[in-house]
């Protein structure tokens, strides 16, 4: 959300009202005037302070795999925002990665969905996707993600900016994870804004490219992307980070297009993207996994289309997992 400065100035009074309301809401839960509800199993919340992508879903998947490797029963609670046919793109991505090894509760009432899962089978740990502001559900650990390519000091509260809460809400976190730490200057600036809490770096690395079949958008092959000009598009929370990653991964982007986060693509838009790619003399089209989920049944038929498959890497992995387990053992009550 990069609004022109004059519009941000005009919206600033509304941001003050919004920030006051957000702070009062959290305070009412903290004082017990609004009651938090607690599930039987421990809950780890993964979230952020801003709208847009910071890597929440990749970290939830990463944590789920770590707990599964320990033989634990894992359940993920997600809002399911921006869904097609009642299923969100993030949910489909998590489902593709984790399959039936993880239980899912999808919907606005995370406590209700979690309670249903607990009645069906034992759960060892819940992962609350995008849960930092969902304070009505009690959690044992709050993991806060900060995108170092977008320093918080430059952000304003909604609707003038991207902040969901005032920066003082950082103090609720138990562990902070700085994503996109290849931006070293951003890391130094972001760390200066944080209180004394465990802080860990994380990066997004390219795992592979998936070639989509023109027939049905299913995976056709795995392999490296040929060295050639590409046309890139995305409808995600942080498009600049995606294009930056493409450059870092050695792609030559001939042209690009940006859509709103969670955008659902139409046949007409797919055709227009192909035409633009042809005009740019691109030899292939490239997108994120989230965009691939939002293609639906629409096809690219004239140019090969590839999906960037990424993996989340946490620095000091052993120490991070130790901090998570220590936080779970303490709990917030």
Helix (H, G, I), strand (E, B) or coil at 218: coil
Domains in the chain: boundaries: 5-23+32-203+313-330, 205-311
At residue 3, the pLDDT reads: 82
At residue 217, the pLDDT reads: 44
The secondary structure of 74-136 as a DSSP string is EEEEE--TT-BTTB-HHHHHHHHHHGGGSEEEESS-HHHHHHHHHHHS--SEEEEET-TT-TT
CATH 1.25.40 describes domain 205-311: no
At residue 264, the pLDDT reads: 93
At residue 225, the pLDDT reads: 72
At residue 29, the pLDDT reads: 95
- For 28, the enclosing helix (H) or strand (E) is helix 5-30
At residue 305, the pLDDT reads: 92
CATH architecture of 5-23+32-203+313-330: 3-Layer(aba) Sandwich (3.40)
At residue 216, the pLDDT reads: 42
- For 64, the enclosing helix (H) or strand (E) is helix 56-69
Instruction: Tell me: cis bond preceding 301? Omega within 30 of 0 counts.
Output: no
Q: How far apart are CA 259 and CA 63, in angstroms?
A: 29
Q: Measured at the alpha carbon of residue 210, what is the angle toward residues 58 and 76, in degrees to the nearest 5?
A: 25
Q: Are 103 and 123 in contact (CB under 8 A)?
A: yes
Answer yes or no: same fold for 5-23+32-203+313-330 and 205-311: yes
At residue 218, the pLDDT reads: 47
Q: Are 15 and 9 in contact (CB under 8 A)?
A: no
Low-confidence ranges of the chain (pLDDT < 50): 215-220
| CA contacts within 13 A on the Cβ side of 273 | 29
């Amino acid at each position: 959300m990069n609004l022109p400065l004059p519009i941000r100035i005009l919206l600033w009074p509304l941001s003050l009202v919004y920030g006051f309301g957000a702070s009062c809401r959290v305070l009412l839960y903290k004082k017990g005037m609004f009651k938090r509800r607690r599930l039987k199993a421990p809950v780890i919340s993964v979230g952020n302070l801003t709208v847009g992508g910071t890597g929440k879903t990749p970290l939830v998947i990463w944590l789920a795999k770590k707990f599964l490797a320990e033989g634990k029963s894992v359940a993920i609670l997600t809002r399911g925002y921006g869904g097609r046919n009642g299923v969100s793109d993030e949910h489909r991505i998590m489902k593709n990665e984790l399959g039936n090894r993880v239980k899912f509760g999808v919907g606005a009432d995370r406590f209700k969905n979690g309670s249903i899962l607990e009645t069906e089978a034992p759960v060892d740990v819940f992962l609350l996707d995008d849960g930092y502001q969902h304070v009505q559900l009690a959690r044992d650990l709050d993991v806060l993600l900060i995108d170092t390519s977008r320093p918080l000091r430059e952000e304003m509260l909604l609707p003038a900016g991207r902040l969901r809460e005032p920066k003082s809400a950082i103090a609720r976190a138990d562990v902070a994870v700085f994503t996109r730490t290849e931006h070293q200057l951003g890391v130094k600036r972001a760390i200066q804004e944080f209180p004394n809490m465990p802080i860990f770096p994380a990066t997004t690395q390219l795992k592979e490219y998936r070639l989509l079949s023109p027939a049905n958008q299913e995976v056709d092959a795995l392999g490296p992307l040929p060295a050639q000009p590409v046309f890139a598009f995305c409808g995600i929370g942080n498009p600049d980070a995606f294009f930056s990653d493409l450059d870092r991964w050695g792609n030559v982007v001939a042209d690009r297009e940006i859509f709103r986060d969670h955008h659902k693509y139409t046949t007409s838009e797919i055709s227009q993207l192909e035409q633009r790619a042809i005009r740019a003399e691109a030899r292939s089209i490239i997108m994120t996994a989230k965009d691939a989920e939002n293609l639906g049944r629409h096809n690219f038929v004239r140019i090969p289309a590839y999906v960037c498959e990424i993996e989340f890497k946490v620095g000091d992995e052993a120490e991070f997992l130790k901090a998570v387990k220590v936080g779970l053992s303490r709990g917030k009550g």
